[in-house]
Structure 1
Amino acid sequence: MSNIKLISTSALAKKLSMSKHQLDELLLAAKYIVKNDDGFKLTELGIQNSGSMKKHAKFGEYIVWDENMEIPNKPINQGKEFYSSTKIATRYNLSARKVNLILSEIGFIEKYLKGWTITILGTKNGGIQRENNKNGIPYVEWDKSIFENSAFLSIIQEVKGEAGESTQKKIDDSKESSFREKFIAKHRATDGHMVRSKAEMLIDNWLYMAEIVHAYERKLPIEEEVYCDFYIPTGKIYIEFWGLENDPKYAKRKEAKKEIYKKYDFKLIELTDEDVFNLDDVLPKLLLKHGVQTY
């Protein structure tokens, strides 16, 4: 009896720690699949390399592969120009180190023992993993779309002190503006942050006393204008405090926001009123799950 396990392209991509789009590009380049009006079609070459069709009663036919198949490594970047952090830095009159720190801050890359590795979000935004041939140190290069990426450009402006009024206008024009107008930031936390509720003040104070660097109402590194309650750069963790549970409008806003976090696979810690009164017990455990140790 065969021990071969067949899994979908999405499942295979997840197993290989890459985006489905990235795996599709590899399979297209190797001519294992072709694109048509209905999506992707399996080729004879694909069938020879473990591909087959499976039918689902609800979703129809889809392609499956041997979970241990050898992934084709034909280059998918032929004809494309890619830019290193050094080249990007030159355009903005910054250092390559600063550019990498910016890309790390928005969750596109992660620090390795030496060098940088790309994240799933980074692959979705035009990045490609490279390795230095001499010393094996990993680094990431980017296609030209990085120069139009709103999250990246926004941080560039902030770092260079050019954001100012344009950033504030985006905040004022966002869908959350009515919420911000209703709940004025009038509570001063120990670290000087002006926050919108006593609960947020307690959370901010806890993070400050635990010596955890954090930002308040940081914009998520995505196209949508969405702002978190707190952001912890170490670990790329977002914290949301859900209050006003009985308010229908707030409940709708909460669900929409949770969908955004799920869509981009961001690390999220959710806190309730009950949690706020037990932060010493709750937060250390939740932070540790994401690799951040306290005390």
Structure 2
Amino acid sequence: METCSQPNCNNPVSKPGHTLCYNCWKTANAKPTIKTIISPKPKIVNSPMLLSATKISQKLNEQNYSVHRNNVNRILSELGLLEKKGTDWIATRRGIAFGATQKNDPKTGNSYVLWSPNILENRIFLEAIKNIISETTDSNILETKSEQSFREKFRESAKFRTTDGHWVRSKAEVMIDNWLYMAELVHAYERRLPIAEEVYCDFYIPSGKVYLEYWGYENDSKYLDRKREKQRIYQQYELNLIEIVDENVRDLDDFLPRILLTFGVQVS
């Protein structure tokens, strides 16, 4: 009988016609050992419950803020945190930074946004509520001392009254305000920007989320420093800004309709 063909093995082959003995054949045909890898169980992280616009309204009303649920998205939109596209609400890049989470309703296909509970403590959001909602019962959202100081100083310098009743500081601002009024554009005067810093714009047009600044004191160094700082702020927070100088004031009928259209505001 033939012997095993493995080196240094002289055992007889297991069967006639084979080249290996039983032990060498068993070693050569042994199945590889399979190690079972047990994946670690994922850790369950308890994240805070996200809030819908309706839930935000309920939470605010519990704190004596009188805010109807239909106004919540409008306020968030004015802050530049949301955009409405048809029936959808879309979170902006700034909204995501505020804690927005984009969702889609599987039944209707409509997009909506949920918010981190932290938004209920966000000073910018609460200030916007104070500015937009006319009636409130909470003393916590009354003007701060710094805001009162600003308003007192402003009232002293606002000596010109516009057609729609605004008190403004210059004849140029009268012309701008009257033009917006006659163009039937809803607008606010001296509206606080939706940012942490206490900064006020000259005019605000909510339909396009557009801020208007009239630069009228180009020969004052302190004014120019403040102008540059405000321009930086507008750029930093990516707010829609229209800058008006004296040359533009003399040609508002041509200048404003053309530039407002670039922000989606059409003047008839």
Instruction: Give, in whole Å, the separation in 2 of the partners of 1:162 and 1:262.
Output: 35
1:249 maps onto 2:225 in alignment: no
Aligned CA distance change for structure 1 residues 82 and 187 (closer, same or farther; 3 Å): same
Instruction: Give, in whole Å, the separation in 2 of the partners of 1:146 and 1:173.
Output: 27
1:80 Cα offset (Å):
3.5
State the one-letter code of the partner of 2:266.
Q
1:78 Cα offset (Å):
6.9
Partner secondary structure for residue 217 of structure 2 = coil
Instruction: Give, in whole Å, the separation in 1 of the partners of 2:130 and 2:161.
Output: 27
1:241 Cα offset (Å):
0.2
State the structure with more CA Rg: 2
Cα distance per residue 1:19-68 (max 9 Å; x no partner):
xxxxxxxxxxxxxxxxxxxxxxxxxxxxxxxxxxxxxxxxxxxxxxxxxx
- Which of the two has greater strand per residue? 1
Alpha-carbon RMSD across the aligned residues, in angstroms, is: 2.2
State the one-letter code of the partner of 1:153.
L
Instruction: Give, in whole Å, the separation in 2 of the partners of 1:177 and 1:185.
Output: 10
Partner secondary structure for residue 157 of structure 2 = coil
* Poorly superposed stretches of 4+, deviation over 4 Å: 162-165
Instruction: Give, in whole Å, the separation in 1 of the partners of 2:255 and 2:146.
Output: 34
Aligned CA distance change for structure 1 residues 162 and 223 (closer, same or farther; 3 Å): farther
Which residue of structure 1 lines up, in the alignment, with residue 117 of structure 2?
A: 144
Counterparts of residues 208-223 of structure 1 (less than 5 Å): 208-223=181-196
1:226 Cα offset (Å):
0.5
Contact 1:239 1:270 in 2 (8 A): yes
Counterparts of residues 149-164 of structure 1 (less than 5 Å): 149-158=122-131, 159=133, 160-162=135-137
Partner secondary structure for residue 141 of structure 1 = strand
1:196 Cα offset (Å):
0.8
Question: Which stretch of the first structure deviates more once superposed, 163-172 or 227-236?
Answer: 163-172
1:192 maps onto 2:165 in alignment: yes
Q: What is the aligned counterpart of 1:225 among 198, 202, 218?
A: 198
Q: What is the aligned counterpart of 1:273 among 235, 246, 253?
A: 246
1:118 Cα offset (Å):
1.1
Counterparts of residues 64-79 of structure 1 (less than 5 Å): 79=47
State the one-letter code of the partner of 2:60.
Y
Which residue of structure 2 lines up, in the alignment, with residue 90 of structure 1?
A: 58
Instruction: Give, in whole Å, the separation in 1 of the partners of 2:203 and 2:189.
Output: 5
Instruction: Give, in whole Å, the separation in 1 of the partners of 2:164 and 2:112.
Output: 36
Percent of aligned pairs with the same amino acid: 49
Contact 1:157 1:163 in 2 (8 A): no
Contact 1:154 1:163 in 2 (8 A): no
Q: Tell me the TM-score normalised to structure 1 length.
A: 0.68
Instruction: Give, in whole Å, the separation in 2 of the partners of 1:134 and 1:156.
Output: 32
Question: Across the two proteins, how many residue pairs are aligned to each other?
Answer: 216
Which residue of structure 1 lines up, in the alignment, with residue 106 of structure 2?
A: 133
Instruction: Give, in whole Å, the separation in 1 of the partners of 2:138 and 2:244.
Output: 31
Cα distance per residue 1:80-101 (max 9 Å; x no partner):
4211111111112343212111
Partner secondary structure for residue 242 of structure 2 = strand
Q: What is the aligned counterpart of 1:121 among 90, 94, 101?
A: 94
Contact 2:60 2:120 in 1 (8 A): no
Contact 2:75 2:128 in 1 (8 A): yes
Question: Which stretch of the first structure deviates more once superposed, 101-110 or 159-168?
Answer: 159-168
Which residue of structure 2 lines up, in the alignment, with residue 13 of structure 1?
A: none
Partner secondary structure for residue 142 of structure 2 = helix
Instruction: Give, in whole Å, the separation in 2 of the partners of 1:216 and 1:130.
Output: 35
1:110 maps onto 2:86 in alignment: no
1:170 maps onto 2:146 in alignment: yes
Cα distance per residue 1:137-165 (max 9 Å; x no partner):
11111112201111211233341435888
Contact 2:180 2:187 in 1 (8 A): yes
1:199 Cα offset (Å):
0.6
Partner secondary structure for residue 186 of structure 2 = coil
1:169 Cα offset (Å):
3.1
